[in-house]
Amino acid sequence: MDVTRIFERLNEAQRRAVGAPPGALLVLAGAGSGKTRVLTHRIAWLVEAQNVLPPRILAVTFTNKASREMRGRIGKLLQASDDGMRNLWIGTFHGLCHRLLRMHFEEAGLPKNFEILDSDDQFRLVRRVLREQQLDEAYWPPKQMQWMINQHKEEARRARDLPAGEGQQQILHRVYRAYEETCQRLGMVDFAELLLRVFELFRNNQLLREQYQRRFEHVLVDEFQDTNTLQYRWLRLLCDAHKNIFAVGDDDQSIYGWRGARIENLLGFERDFPGAEVIRLEQNYRSSGNILNAANAVIGHNAGRLGKTLWTDAPAGTKVRLYAADNEFDEARFVVSGIAEWVQNGNRRDSAALLYRSNAQSRVFEEQLLSEGMPYRVYGGLRFFERAEIKDALAYLRLISNRDSDGAFERVVNHPARGIGAKTLETVRRRARDQQISMWKAAGESDGELSARAAGALQKFRQLIDEMAAAAAGMDLADTTEEMLARSGLLAHFKKDRGERGETRVENLEELVSAARNFAADDDEDAPDELSQFLANAALEAGEGQAEEWEDCVQLMSLHSAKGLEFDLVFLCGMEEGLFPHQRALAEGNQLEEERRLCYVGMTRAMKRLTLCHAAVRRLHGHERYARPSRFLSEIPDEHIEELRPSRISRIAQTNNAASHLELGRRVLHKKFGEGVVVDFEGRGEHARVRVDFAGGESKWLVCAYAELAPA
């Protein structure tokens, strides 16, 4: 292969990043600047120009979709077959750690057929532990306890690392310890445990650590700004010997602090890797000039950033439009009519997106879209492997593969109903707990404690699973799945529901057979059997934001869901103080910069046209309130804004730098009236006015240009 091809169609900054010498490199890739292209071309350059063997490269992404896309692009660059790409270690943190644990289960202290718990299975196990600890769920909510356990794991803290404490802390410690013991006894591994177990394996086993440090000579990381504490420590451990880490991220798009992402990992990269090079990708290939300049102005108000300014060769395009709605219904009518006009002009509906800060905002838009007969889809609904009927089917398959899976046993032992009630199950649970065995084994014991009918029902269920397992031994994965659906009674159960809901569930179960038929198992010598691989893949895929084949319909989504997507036309709605930025961010203060980054992400989703909307009055969460326009609106220079309504717009004057301190909530000083607080704005330019509530109880409107208000 001619290596010069690798650098074709790359700009200067991209070429510098792709061809940089080995070592620590941080690529600050702005929105729409081609970060995936840089990552894939870097791997191709390592293989073709530096003669690095593919198995010596480890590339980490955050979604399976991104992994597949990266693998496909690299294959085209290297002109390699699918088989030739198998040696590349490309995957998510969880997927890669799962692969490592399957290879080193003994060193990690796990059984060979350990089971991966998805979020729902983990929740049920936490509930079970709470019951065993005789704790009232009303006071110790399972969801909260599940979050607590995962948070500690993501900070690399075991139960033994926590102080025993007293009162509430003692209870939390006890639950975490009991949960760990249950998982270990049953051979179960939750998502956070996948990473923690591999991190501990490398940290505590020097020979194994050095083996993989030598094996993975080059480590590449996508979306580096989204790494949490444990992920970053895992990466540093792998790179400790050679320091060859190629991290691509954007501090301006770090919006997942609420789920553990630490922007400090990116901001402190040069400190943790002395001598690291930083390359900025600042040419944007997505948005028009006005959109880009408006977004740059907003994010420029954040202090905690490494700094970059995106630019584009694209025309300035239309200005960012600003609509001041009377209320949320007026806002919805305006947005839907704007999309209708867009479609009438020959554009596709799926090129338009409606973004909002809170999912609660979607209801009014959905009603308006329905009334106009405009097809739409709320992005981020339940994914395939999260659907209840699919989880039921997977539970049967999991029992076929591993009888000792308590989560699977509890889910389907009486589904469809076969006369096994709650009292019978509680007896089985107690037996399992007292004898330290699985519920499957406990259900097979006969000590006279259960009625003949209950014992018979359990025996029939166990016989059913055994028969399905015996049949599966001579079948491929798809036939096993199809046979299970018939024998278990699941398909017949959902076919009884003649409504649309029942039809959808039947179609989903039939699609599961197709998924099994199309599943490509790893045929490595040390790989587990096909069914085990399929179940692991299903658990890892559950909860990921992978889009289906959509029809031509308007896209509705939260700002968090919009990251990584792009649309010709974007409406960013609910731009009001307390809604966006969110009230929580205003109350806590330290979250305001993340809210601003979220605004930046939303604005840079737009390629051709961006409209920002706010309402004077909004009913949200059952309460009607008067709303002040978001401070983010005031941070956009006038030359990039087109107001669509002459009605009162509360925007901070942008006439000169002297007025920059006039922000809502700021304390100011007036020569005559004394100290006060800025509470509202009106108008624009030299005619902009500010309302100040002064200490003496007087409230006054003052013209910004002449008021001579100074910071208090």
- The CA distance from 221 to 231, in Å, is 11
621: left (phi over 0), alpha (psi -120 to 50) or beta: left
The one catalytic residue in 121, 154, 217, 223 is 223
Q: Is 134 among the catalytic positions?
A: no
Contact 655, 684 (CB under 8 A): no
Question: What backbone torsions phi and psi does residue 684 show, to the nearest 5 degrees?
Answer: -140, 165
Beta bridge partners of 556: 354, 378
Q: Is 222 among the catalytic positions?
A: yes
Q: Is 83 among the catalytic positions?
A: no
The one catalytic residue in 35, 233, 387, 608 is 35
- The CA distance from 33 to 281, in Å, is 6
- The CA distance from 708 to 360, in Å, is 41
- The CA distance from 467 to 588, in Å, is 58
Q: How far is CA 43 from the centre of its chain?
A: 25
Residue type, 594: E
Contact 488, 473 (CB under 8 A): no
DSSP code of residue 148: H
Q: Is 36 among the catalytic positions?
A: yes
Measure the CA angle with vertex 281, ends 564 and 16; round to 5°. 130
Q: From residue 492, how far is each of 471, 485, 497, 583 by CA, in Å? A: 20, 8, 9, 49
Q: From residue 369, how far is each of 330, 343, 378, 413 by CA, in Å? A: 13, 13, 12, 43
| Spatial CB neighbours of 449, under 8 Å, sequence gap ≥ 6 | 427
Q: Is 223 among the catalytic positions?
A: yes
- The CA distance from 441 to 435, in Å, is 10
- The CA distance from 126 to 153, in Å, is 15
Q: Is 581 exposed, middle or buried (0-12, 13-18, 19+ CB in 10 A)?
A: buried
The one catalytic residue in 15, 36, 184, 270 is 36
Contact 27, 248 (CB under 8 A): yes
Q: Is 35 among the catalytic positions?
A: yes
The one catalytic residue in 146, 227, 253, 361 is 253
Alpha helices in 328-381 (DSSP H): 328-344, 362-371
Question: What backbone torsions phi and psi does residue 255 show, to the nearest 5 degrees?
Answer: -125, 15
The one catalytic residue in 563, 605, 608, 609 is 605
Beta bridge partners of 606: 567
The one catalytic residue in 222, 226, 328, 576 is 222
| Catalytic positions | 35-36, 222-223, 253, 605
